Amino acid sequence: MILFDLVQASPVQIPDLTRCQVASASSDRGPPVTLYFNCCLPITGPIVDFSFEKYKPISKHIRRPAHTASDEYIAKYIKAYELMRALPDTDPRSLKVQANLHCSFCNGGYLQAGVTGDIPLQVHFSWLFLPWHRWYLYFHERILGSLIGDPGFSLLYWNWDDQVYGGNQLPQMFTRVNTSLYDEKRRVAVQRPTIVPLAASTPLNLNDSIVINQNLNNLYQAIVTASTATLFMGGELRAGDDLRNSTVMKNRLGGSLENGLHTAVHYYVGDPRTQLLQNMGNFGTASRDPIFYSHHTNVDRLWDVWRFSMPDGERSNHDDPDFLNAEFVFYDENANMVRVTVRDVLEHQKLGVYYEKGGSDDLWISYSPPARTNQSAVPVAVAAGVQYVREAPLNGIISIGTSFSAIVKRPSEKKQSKTLEVLNIQGVQVVRDEFVALAAFVNIPWAGASTATDSVEYLGTFNIVPSTDKSKHLKVNVKYEIGDNLKRIGISEEEEVVISLVVTGDSNAVTIQGVKIDYEDQEIDYEDQ
Ligand code: C2O
């Protein structure tokens, strides 16, 4: 219990839209550069409250995989985005304003309302991520449908988790030059038929079968074993929480779907010929590319798969009132401003949205990652002089370079049922504005840039997209379920384990403050997070 944090908590509110600031993103890759975005949103009238009655679905929106779409459906999709692109920039339904919605709530365009001090509103890196993006897609889809006069128009999902039927390549429909779905700012090396890796540390020139196995393991580690709401969806963010200054104990925590898989896809689609990996590789520009919405439709679908299709049964979302009552603002298909809450988006069927099952979900859901090792690496690591790292603040600030290994003690008390054993990399901070990926391994003291992520020693990757000046030096905790990994390796009786971290990107950029392994309840004790 952290007493000084017991301030009156409350849900995030919609910001005061009359107070917009210039948003920005910067990069130190090459000569330092800062891009400024005017993402200020048009105020079209009074903000009305969402109700299921008012937005009753006229027909079902059934979202299907993009790579299975018919030519006829693709033509419709192209038409819808053509019309959206053709709207004037002042029209909230235009692609320009749709993109600005994302930019303004990720890159510091607005400040939180009802709090003391100037705290930027940020919809990433916390439990707000999944519900905000689900609402975003909901209104985006309705706008596209209304532009082509088809109320049943449905977004297609980029089925990048599908490693069998070709979902893991850029969907062909988005790659046709001179159509409204094309964006020229994309990474050349990730064009079809390249398989898009789901860990940002994977080189693009590997053999397909290697990438496929790494992808399956990445999906397994980020979705199947991340069974709690905090691990998967991300941690709490309440009104007044400031991403820029938090104590190590209370550091924000993005979920495994967001910080691992989702962000890796942004990274690989972003164009390295631009300094900020535009468009997809930077939150300020990502949703200028129509593939963004298809990418996020898959993220949204995977949230559903996580909840309802896992072998251990149904999983629970956060249910804290400050989560349920958090509110956002969007534009509907008539350019009206609508106030929505997280509570109303949790069951997408109530919004008329349905998902057709992904082509090969079962392959990663039932994946059994192979173990590369079969005995504890601690003795070897001790002999090689690997240091012990304890929980923060006992270590000070540790600079991890390109790779770093530590011996970490496991908790001594016995594991109860219904608890997960969780590794917490505390106080991770990236001190430069550049895309950085931090991969974590257990029991491989020699892990480095070429260590593959296809075995059970791999715990996951935390990817950091440069997002904004204003949340520069973001400090977060990164958590991974580790019990399943230890069991599969056969070292679950050991008292200590070797944890290794590998950095892709700037090797001087990352510091941490501690590493801790603990049991966490499935039930979340919010006060202790
Ligand atoms: Cu708002 Cu994929 O990010």
pLDDT tens, residue by residue, 25-47? 776 566 667 777 788 999 999 99
Q: Quick one: pLDDT at residue 117?
A: 87
Q: Quick one: pLDDT at residue 250?
A: 73
**The pLDDT of residue 170 is above 70:** yes
Residues 6+ apart with CB under 8 A from 364: 161, 163, 215, 216, 219, 220, 223, 224
Annotated catalytic residue, options 129, 283, 404, 435:
283
Q: What is the DSSP letter of 519?
A: E
From its phi and psi, is residue 114 left (phi > 0), alpha (psi between -120 and 50) or beta? left
pLDDT digits (tens, 9 = 90+) for 349-378: 999 999 999 989 999 999 999 999 999 999
283 is catalytic: yes
Give residue 133 CA to ligand 1 midpoint distance, Å.
Answer: 7
Q: What is the DSSP letter of 198?
A: S
473 is catalytic: no
Neighbours of 472 (CB within 10 A): 17
Question: How far is Cα of residue 519 from the mean position of the Cα atoms in its chain?
Answer: 24
For 38, list phi and psi in degrees, rounded to 5.
-90, 95
Q: Quick one: pLDDT at residue 389?
A: 97
Q: What confidence tier does 106 reach under pLDDT thresholds 50, 70, 90? A: confident
Annotated catalytic residue, options 67, 140, 266, 295:
266
Give residue 130 CA to ligand 1 midpoint distance, Å.
Answer: 9
Nearest ligand 1 atom, CA 263: 2
308 is catalytic: no
Give residue 185 CA to ligand 1 midpoint distance, Å.
Answer: 17
- d(CA 144, CA 153) in angstroms, rounded, equals 7
Nearest ligand 1 atom, CA 292: 2
Annotated catalytic residue, options 50, 67, 129, 133:
133
Give residue 256 CA to ligand 1 midpoint distance, Å.
Answer: 14
Give residue 285 CA to ligand 1 midpoint distance, Å.
Answer: 10
Where is 294: in which H helix or E strand? helix 291-308
**70 SS3 class:** coil
Using alpha carbons, list the distances in angstroms from residue 312 to 227, 315, 335.
9, 8, 43
Bridge-based pairing state of the strands 403-409 and 327-331: unpaired
**The pLDDT of residue 333 is above 80:** yes
For 266, list phi and psi in degrees, rounded to 5.
-55, -45
| 3-state percent helix, strand, coil for the chain, nearest multiple of 5 | 30, 20, 50
- d(CA 243, CA 229) in angstroms, rounded, equals 20
Q: What is the percentage of the chain residues whose pLDDT exceeds 70?
A: 92
Q: Quick one: pLDDT at residue 293?
A: 98
- d(CA 526, CA 253) in angstroms, rounded, equals 13
Give residue 283 CA to ligand 1 midpoint distance, Å.
Answer: 6
Q: Quick one: pLDDT at residue 252?
A: 77
Q: Quick one: pLDDT at residue 237?
A: 92
**The pLDDT of residue 399 is above 90:** yes
Nearest ligand 1 atom, CA 299: 2
61 is catalytic: no
Q: Quick one: pLDDT at residue 342?
A: 98
Q: What confidence tier does 523 reach under pLDDT thresholds 50, 70, 90? A: low
Nearest ligand 1 atom, CA 258: 2
Residues with CB under 6 A from ligand 1: 102, 106, 124, 133, 262, 266, 283, 286, 296
Render the burial of 164-192: b for 16+ CB within 10 Å, e for the rest.
Answer: eebbbbbbebbbeeebbbbbebbbeebee
Q: DSSP per residue over 152-177, as a string?
A: T--PEE--TT-SSSSTTS--GGG--T
Share the mean pLDDT of the chain.
91
Q: What is the percentage of the chain residues whose pLDDT exceeds 90?
A: 74
Give residue 525 CA to ligand 1 midpoint distance, Å.
Answer: 27
Using alpha carbons, list the distances in angstroms from residue 165 to 288, 363, 368, 383, 438.
28, 12, 20, 47, 29
- d(CA 475, CA 473) in angstroms, rounded, equals 6
Q: Quick one: pLDDT at residue 413?
A: 76
CB 408 within 8 A of CB 388: yes
Q: What confidence tier does 6 reach under pLDDT thresholds 50, 70, 90? A: very low
**111 SS3 class:** strand
Give residue 431 CA to ligand 1 midpoint distance, Å.
Answer: 21
**The pLDDT of residue 7 is above 60:** no
Q: Quick one: pLDDT at residue 522?
A: 66
Annotated catalytic residue, options 61, 67, 102, 318:
102
Q: Quick one: pLDDT at residue 529?
A: 40
User: On the CB side of 372, how many CA atoms lie within 13 Å of its CA?
Assistant: 16
**The pLDDT of residue 505 is above 60:** yes
More confident residue, 258 or 202: 258
For 498, list phi and psi in degrees, rounded to 5.
-100, 125
Q: Quick one: pLDDT at residue 467?
A: 60
Using alpha carbons, list the distances in angstroms from residue 219 to 161, 262, 379.
7, 11, 31
CB 443 within 8 A of CB 489: yes
**The pLDDT of residue 245 is above 90:** no
262 is catalytic: yes
Nearest ligand 1 atom, CA 136: 1
Q: Quick one: pLDDT at residue 527?
A: 46
- d(CA 265, CA 258) in angstroms, rounded, equals 10
**The pLDDT of residue 481 is above 50:** yes
- Cβ-in-10-Å burial (0-12, 13-18, 19+) of 429 comes to middle
295 is catalytic: no
Residue with token string 């692109």: 85
Annotated catalytic residue, options 61, 124, 140, 348:
124
Tokens encoding 321: 């009132």
Tokens encoding 288: 């200028």
Q: What confidence tier does 417 reach under pLDDT thresholds 50, 70, 90? A: low
296 is catalytic: yes
Of the listed ranges 184-198, 389-403, 416-430, the least confidently predicted one is: 416-430
Of the listed ranges 36-50, 67-81, 333-347, the least confidently predicted one is: 36-50
Q: Quick one: pLDDT at residue 508?
A: 74
Nearest ligand 1 atom, CA 132: 1
Annotated catalytic residue, options 61, 140, 296, 318:
296
Taking CB atoms within 8 Å and a gap of at least 24, the contacts of 152-155 are 152/58, 152/59, 152/60, 152/61, 153/61, 153/76, 153/80, 154/61, 154/62, 154/63, 154/64, 154/353, 155/61, 155/63, 155/293, 155/294, 155/297
Residue whose CA is closest, atom 3 of ligand 1? 283
Neighbours of 500 (CB within 10 A): 25
